[in-house]
Amino acid sequence: MAGTIIPRRFVEWLSGLLLLAVAYGFALAPARAEAQAGSVTGQGAAAAVTTTTSAQQFAPAALPNAGGMADSELASVAVPSTLSADGLASITTGQLDQTLVSATTTAQAANVNVLSGLITAEAVLAVATSYANGVTATSESNGSALVGLVVNGVNYADVPPAPNTQVRLPGVGYVVLNEQLPAGDGVHTTGLTVTMIHVYLTDAQGAPTGDIVIGMAKSGANL
Amino acid sequence: MVCKQATLAGLRGLVAVALLAVACTEPAGPDRGRVRPPELATTAGSGIALDQWNGTLSESGFELVKGFNPTNPHTGDAIIATFFWIGPPGIITSVTDFLASVPNTPVGNTYTLVTSASANGVSMATYVATNVQNFPSGLYNPTGEQILAIRATLSVPVADGGLVISAWTGVDPVSAQALGASSSASGVGFGSTVADPGAIPINAGALAYAVTMSNGVVSFSARPEGFTNLTTASDLFMQTDAEYDAEFAVQGDAGTVDPRWTWNFGLVPSTWLASVLALNPAPPPPGNLTVTTTTSGSDLDRDGYTVTVDGTNSLQSPTNGSVTFAGLAAGSHSVALSDVAANCTVSEANPQMVTVPSGGTATVSFTVSCLASSNVGSNDKMTGGGKLGGGREFATFGFDARPTGGQLEWVQHCGNGATAGSATCQSGSFTFHGTVAAGSYSAVSGSPNCRTWSGTGSARFKDVPSKSGSYTFTVNSACDNGQPGRGTDYVDISIADYQDTGYLTGGNIQLHRGN
């Protein structure tokens, strides 16, 4: 498998870039003082394209503060020379109970083509799940998948790459596969953002110029 | 003319009796009476009818007594006995009945003073017994043996007196319900003088019984309009000092009655007494009401229902079957079905109105339809999302289901398109968005962690677009078996001919157990 595991501090830098670039801002679990009653968060997008001048999300879904369910689907998307895909869907569900708060978000797309074939995948699925029971708080990405992934001519097996696998894309920037951004104290709060394909676009000097996201799922629980 | 209602006037020096004997002039006592042929009951247009009657004057001493010679009334009748005498009021110490035998056999029916009048030395009092019993019903015996007789016992002897007795079928057997209004009056006048006991209200079908007595040398110029003469009597001794007249009418409609006689008293001032009373009819024979319940659907209300008539009379009804209310008063009744489970609805109006026929049976039907019961608390709910399957064929889903409804999203991914023989990809990839039907959410028997629900939604098929359309779905079972949900939580869903079942390969299901 091609790719490398990127350092933690680089992930933090990426996280900051995300906040600037797209409306994926993930409010991490609130402080403990606000967490007595518990809270739940969930957000998903099947795809997103952000440039210095615009930001687009495809099949986005955001969980209501009270929990429940939200979903969105899109038969296909085509951003010329940037992104095409079909079967786009995201679903987020969550529930606040006195002894358990949980949230799950899935985001998926099929027949993905990024940057005119630089990256292709038959199926992309991000799954983020968080639990908090007042004693422990955990999140996981189990169920996430990249099927038929090809990056810059390199085929990947139908298993998710290791979290935060970075692959350079000469002249374009780089891509992070199975990007995972955890949050929370692991006791009362937890959160996880899973982005299965995250292309960071840079200029010749390495400055960010935009990004392309395929399969982004976030979940958070606080109790 | 001086008229006084239900009070006594001062005694007059002379009491003249002139009893006009229209029907009979009788010697006193059951065994002294003139033998009359048997009479048929006279029906007056409703349930109350005259059965037997008799009357007499020329009695004296401490008793006024007469029998129903030669034919007894019938048990269950009401008996009206009006006593007349020359003398002060209030001297009747008891009214009893007995069978004319040797010795007399007491019968024991209760006679209640209903109304009385007295003025100027003449008096009369009317007693009523309802639902009379303990005598040979309808016996015809010209010898007088075993004939029912009525006797008033007096505290002081009278020089002349008598009575008229009448028996009536169809009167309410309960005395308190049988006795209607009554009124009495007295007055003094000469020439053409109206005797009027006063108007009384009367119920539909009730008997109005009216009687008047005078101490004048008299005749009538008018009797009460609308009334039928029962008898007019006088006797030889009292011929110039008193007479009485009894009338009756059975009312068709409720209203008032005000019987009035016009006595021809001549030039000598005379006294009149008059009374009127009402006896209510017996209620019509009761009827029966059969209530049938038919229940269909799912999760039937196994403990049955409660059927309530008129808001108070209740019986338990089976889920499918009938109950019968016996002895209901004829007429209109409300019938309500209650204790119907929340998942069941009654098709008909509830309550229903029904008319129970007298002596017959009315029927009422309730049709109950039940959906799968919501055998969980009202705030029970289940949310979940995640993934089933893996590789090139997997499904992602999310749902939010509760007793009042909810939604479900199901996305089937088939990397190889529509694949014959595949458990989940025979029709290829599709997305389905469904709405949970209210009332369909319930617990799964024997699986406390699981819920089931159903609904309808629309599907969009990618590989077989012609299949896109509306479908029903059923989550046969969704189970929260703990955290993490992957590998433990479970889903079994059917969308038309599509079915997917298994433990979650990602995600979680969370059940909130309602109260």
Other C-beta atoms closer than 10 Å to the C-beta of B392 total 19
* pLDDT value at residue B264: 85
Nearest-by-Cβ selection for B415 from A100, A122, A143: A122
Rounded mean pLDDT, A167-183:
97
* pLDDT value at residue B58: 83
Nearest-by-Cβ selection for B385 from A93, A138, A140: A93
Nearest-by-Cβ selection for B507 from A71, A104, A133: A104
Which comes out higher in pLDDT, residue B241 or B244?
A: B244
Q: Is B433–A108 a contact, with Cβ atoms under 8 angstroms apart?
A: no
* pLDDT value at residue B29: 33
Q: Is the pLDDT at B9 greater than 60, yes or no?
A: no
Q: Which residues contact B186 (CB under 8 A, 6 or more apart)?
A: B3, B4, B5, B6, B7, B8, B9, B117, B118, B119, B271, B272, B273, B274
* pLDDT value at residue A4: 40
Q: Is the pLDDT at B68 greater than 90, yes or no?
A: yes
Q: Is the pLDDT at B160 greater than 90, yes or no?
A: no
Cα distances (angstroms) measured from residue A150 to each of A159, A212, B257: 12, 16, 109
Using pLDDT thresholds of 50, 70 and 90, give the confidence band for residue B3.
very low
Mean pLDDT, rounded, of chain B: 86
| CA–CA distance, B159 with B44 (Å, rounded to integer) | 37
Q: Is the pLDDT at B494 greater than 80, yes or no?
A: yes
Rounded mean pLDDT, A71-94:
96
Which range, of B1-5, B126-130, B403-407, B463-467, averages the lowest pLDDT? Answer: B1-5
Q: Hey, is the C-beta of B483 within 8 angstroms of any chain A C-beta?
A: yes
Which range, of A110-119, B7-16, B147-156, averages the lowest pLDDT? Answer: B7-16
Rounded mean pLDDT, B281-303:
86
| CA–CA distance, A119 with A82 (Å, rounded to integer) | 10
* pLDDT value at residue B502: 96
Q: Which residues contact B174 (CB under 8 A, 6 or more apart)?
A: B130, B131
Percent of chain B predicted with pLDDT > 90: 66
Nearest CA in chain A to B390: A143
Rounded mean pLDDT, B6-19:
25
Q: Which residues contact B53 (CB under 8 A, 6 or more apart)?
A: B23, B39, B68, B164, B165, B166, B167, B230, B231
Nearest to B27 by CA among B51, B48, B68, B55: B55
State pTM to two decimals. Answer: 0.51
Cα distances (angstroms) measured from residue A71 to each of A28, B204, B462: 21, 73, 18
Residue type, A159: V
* pLDDT value at residue B345: 82
Bridge partners of A125, per DSSP, are: A108, A145
Which range, of A109-123, B131-145, B339-353, averages the lowest pLDDT? Answer: B339-353
CA distance A170 to chain B (A): 30
Which range, of B377-381, B424-428, B492-496, averages the lowest pLDDT? Answer: B377-381
Q: What is the pLDDT of residues B45-66, one digit of tens each?
A: 348 999 999 998 888 999 999 9
Which range, of A10-24, A103-117, B387-401, averages the lowest pLDDT? Answer: A10-24
What pairing do the DSSP bridges indicate for beta strands B331-338 and B305-309? antiparallel
Q: What is the pLDDT of residues B97-128, one digit of tens each?
A: 999 988 899 999 999 999 999 999 999 999 99
List of chain A residues whose C-beta atoms are within 8 Å of the C-beta of residue B457: none
B269 by Cβ neighbours in 10 Å (0-12 / 13-18 / 19+) ranks as middle
Bridge partners of B335, per DSSP, are: B309, B352
Q: Hey, is the C-beta of A202 within 8 angstroms of any chain B C-beta?
A: no
Contact assessment for residue A146 and residue A213, using Cβ atoms and an 8 Å cutoff: no
Q: Is the pLDDT at A168 greater than 90, yes or no?
A: yes
End-to-end CA distance of chain B: 84
